[in-house]
Structure 1
Amino acid sequence: MPVSGGLLTQIAIGTVALYTLVTAASRAIGRLLALAEYYDVDEVLVGMTVLALGTSLPELSSHLVASLGILSGVLEYQVTSAVVIGGNTGSSTVQQLLLVGVLLIGYGTVHVSRRFVYESYLPMLGAIGATMLVAWDGTISRLDGVLLLGLYLIYVGAIITRRESTQSLREAPSKNPRRDTVVATGLLVLVLLSASLLLSVVEVVVDTLAIGGSMVGVVTIGVAAALPELTAVMDAIRRRSPHVALGTLVGSNIVNPLVGIGLGGALSTYSVPSSVVLWDLPFKLIAGVGLLGWALYWREGEFTRTEGGYMLGLYFAFLAGRLVLFPGQ
């Protein structure tokens, strides 16, 4: 199919919007961390809000803008639902498999404690399972969305009451809190505006090329939205602090489905593509359970470069299977 100049223009605009979305989100996180350090905010609260929610800001902003667009009639229900849910599961899969694999290959052996398994890894698997259950009928209703958000609040409450401290990638304290507050607010507004523009462009591209909205979400929002976590992985390898990055990646895999899909579902409801409930979520759940069992009972709690290689292979198997089994989605 020949590509028209108008379509190329739309793709160029979408690329700029995607870059702006990710860059503004990353810089907003830095400003918010500096403010948290200045005001001496408790590290647990920082980890569960600025880090956990902040690194998922591209996905969360996409869901918020998508739902508002659906409610106002500006964005088409089926296409927009497919794009943001595909982007959500795509980003989560990048984090769960690709980025954890990069972390292990770059750093080496990482020992995973039973406490980490119980407090973070099992809740991640539970979040994936809960999302799959509520999405199984092909829709995320408002009740489903509220349920997912409620599960996240329960998880946060349990972590805050049980954990005494948490590691975080902290910034230097803010030297000008008033300025940083204004800049952070402006960056967050820019995130929302760029997400709105991106979704409008994606809708045009999907309609023009007649391709699957959820696959577009997987390879655009899904990959780009994981860039803040990639930065955390590279920084953790450099600082020799792999558990910080591992906690961020697992935490984002809890936030993405519970808060992202939950928030969007509670606002506007979603139509869920069959590829998500028949491939994306089951693949993530089975891979997560299998790797956990392998590491705990075969490696005695150690993830090595070997497991890192397996994770990279699983990610590309995920993409290949999706393309082959669900080419139109």
Structure 2
Amino acid sequence: MSVSGALLTQVSVGAVALYTLVTAASRAIDRLLALAEYYDIDEVLVGMTVLALGTSLPELSAHLVASLGILSGVLDYQVASAVVIGGNTGSSTVQQFLLVGVLLIACGSLPLTRTFVRRSYLPMLGALLATLLVAWDGSISRLDGSVLLALYLIYVLVSVSNREPTGTIRERPSERPRRDALVATGLLVLVLLAASLVLSVVGTVVDMLALGGSTVGVVTIGVAAALPELTTVMDAVRRRAPNVALGTLVGSNIVNPLVGIGLGGVVSTYYVPPVVVLWDLPFKLGVGGVLLGWVRFRRTGRLTRTEGGYLLGLYFVFISGRLLLFPGQ
């Protein structure tokens, strides 16, 4: 088989695996929400676990599979690390810029209340800063990973203690809980298998084209893994409940770095490409801080379509800067 034919085959297999990964994760979330409703689990706890972790399931599964592959020697340490960390930052960037931008343009404006800033927005910036600090030396050690996971656990405990029910729309209660539990388990296994295949294909493509692993992760896993959040945004626009979508998007930007990178660091440790600490995280952190200051002091606490347009443009600035300033990473 020619090189071009082999490459086409790998890309096709990878596309199917990515679709399976995202679709199975979405279906698993639906089943788990139905089970939570059946067992009458507290709404805030559901939001902080099933919804927050569930919408990040593609990224989290990729991290777990990559770390196990690194430990077993099946996956290359630097390539696998770069791919999943690139996918992690890529997914959260799509959410922070593209999806929030689309949400604002579709809805017109959203209040950035003091409560939301204190309980969600500032923790998001804190999660990005903590990730930048532990990754600054070019690696994520097991101690670094433990710190990130501990920060997420503290965030969950404080949130569950202080937050009141939000009135988010839940699934109908499960009518056959045992069946749904079994199906959810099977779907989660399928997610892990699909993630394993995706990482294998991406590693092969990186070798064939001599591309940077983190860049491939950004444009493959990063984009595909944000699809559950895109569904949340579309549903929120249809139901005219944009605050729920904004909370989910910000929450995913807390889960992705703290749990995804933290979990991988604890299991196998990671190599961190320079582009992540010199461009990805500083760019996201800087935009997040400037946007907060702009909205609080110049926009009287409201996000508008103007900010939505800026965020859409900034996503393409992020991608262009990454490709131009850090080629091959």
Q: TM-score, normalised by structure 1?
A: 0.99
Structure 2 Cα separation of the partners of residues 256 and 169 of structure 1 = 23
Matched, 1:193 2:190: no
**In the alignment, is residue 161 of structure 1 matched against residue 156 of structure 2?**
no
Query: Residues 195-210 of structure 1 correspond to what in structure 2 (within 5 A)?
Result: 195-210=195-210
Letter of the 2:315 counterpart? Y
SS in 2 for 1:303: strand
1:102 paired residue number? 102
The residue number in structure 2 matching 1:233 is 233
- Matching residue of 2:139: 139
- Give the unaligned 5+ runs of structure 1: none
Counterpart-to-counterpart distance in 1, 2:167 and 2:321 = 36
Q: Match of 2:82?
A: 82
Poorly superposed stretches of 4+, deviation over 4 Å: none
Between the aligned partners of 2:113 and 2:124, the Cα distance in structure 1 is 15
SS in 2 for 1:40: coil
- Which secondary structure state, in structure 1, belongs to the residue aligned with residue 291 of structure 2? helix
RMSD of Structure 2 on Structure 1 (CA): 0.8
Residue equivalent to 1:64: 64
State the distance in 1 between where 2:240 and 2:96 align: 20
CA-CA distance at 1:3 after TM superposition: 4.5
Letter in 1 for 2:51: L
What's the counterpart of residue 295 of structure 1? 295
Q: 2:52 matched to which residue of 1? A: 52
Q: 8 Å contact 1:47–1:167 — kept in the other structure?
A: no
> Would you say the 8 A contact 1:51–1:168 is kept in 2?
no
Q: Deviations over 1:92-111 (max 9, x none)?
A: 00011110000000111111
Distance in 2, matches of 1:166 and 1:184, equals: 25
In structure 1, the residue matched to 2:38 is: 38
Residue correspondence of structure 1 range 176-187 to structure 2 within 5 A: 176-187=176-187
| 8 A Cα contact 1:47 1:166, kept in partner | no
Q: Give yes or no for contact 1:38–1:174 (8 Å, CA) kept in 2.
A: yes
Deviation of 1:167 (Å)? 3.9
Listed one character per residue, the Cα deviations across residues 27-86 of structure 1 (whole Å, up to 9, x for unaligned) are: 100111111111111001100000000000000000000000000000000000000000
For 1:297 and 1:115, the matched residues in 2 are separated by 16
Residue pairs, 1:271-286, within 5 angstroms: 271-286=271-286
How many angstroms apart in 1 are the aligned matches of 2:56 and 2:310?
Answer: 25
**CA-CA distance at 1:168 after TM superposition:** 3.0
Within 2, Cα distance between the matches of 1:305 and 1:170? Answer: 28
Equivalence for 2:118: 118
The alignment partner of 1:4 has SS state of: helix
Would you say how many aligned residue pairs link Structure 1 and Structure 2? 328
Contact 1:296 1:302 in 2 (8 A): yes
- In 1, Cα distance between equivalents of 2:110 and 2:172: 27
Describe the shift of the 1:327–1:306 C-alpha distance in structure 2 as closer, same or farther (beyond 3 A). same
Q: Who is 1:307 aligned against?
A: 307
Shift of 1:166: 2.8
Q: Which runs of 5+ in 2 are unaligned?
A: none
SS in structure 1 at match of 2:214: helix
Residue 233 of structure 1 deviates from its aligned partner by: 0.2
Do the aligned partners of residues 6 and 52 (structure 1) sit closer, same or farther apart at CA in structure 2, a change above 3 Å counting?
Answer: same
Shift of residue 232, structure 1, vs aligned partner: 0.2
For residue 243 of structure 1, give the secondary structure of its aligned residue in structure 2.
helix
**CA 1:138 to 1:167, structure 2 compared with 1: closer, same or farther past 3 Å?**
farther
Question: Which secondary structure does the structure 2 equivalent of 1:110 belong to?
Answer: strand
- 8 Å Cα contact 1:167-1:244 kept in structure 2: no
**Amino acid across the alignment from 1:310:** Y
Deviation string 1:193-246 (CA, Å, 9 cap, x unpaired) is: 000011001000000100000000000000000000000000000100000000
The one-letter amino acid of 1:119's match is: R
Which residue number corresponds to residue 247 of structure 1? Answer: 247
Per-residue deviation, 1:169: 3.9
Equivalent-residue separation in structure 1 for 2:168 and 2:240 (angstroms): 13
| Structure 1 pair 167–60 and aligned structure 2 pair: CA distance change class (3 A) | farther
Match of 1:220 in 2: 220
- Measured in 2, the distance between the counterparts of 1:224 and 1:201 equals 15
Aligned AA for 2:66? Answer: A
Question: Which letter does structure 1 place at the counterpart of 2:72?
Answer: S
Tell me the equivalent position of 1:23.
23
Matching residue of 1:13: 13
Contact 1:124–1:250 under 8 Å retained in 2: yes
Matches of 2:169 and 2:265 in 1, distance apart?
Answer: 31
Structure 1 counterpart of 2:219, which letter? V
- Please give the secondary structure, in 2, of the residue aligned with 1:120: helix
Kept in 2: contact 1:86–1:216 (CA 8 A)? yes
Q: CA deviation at 1:170?
A: 1.2
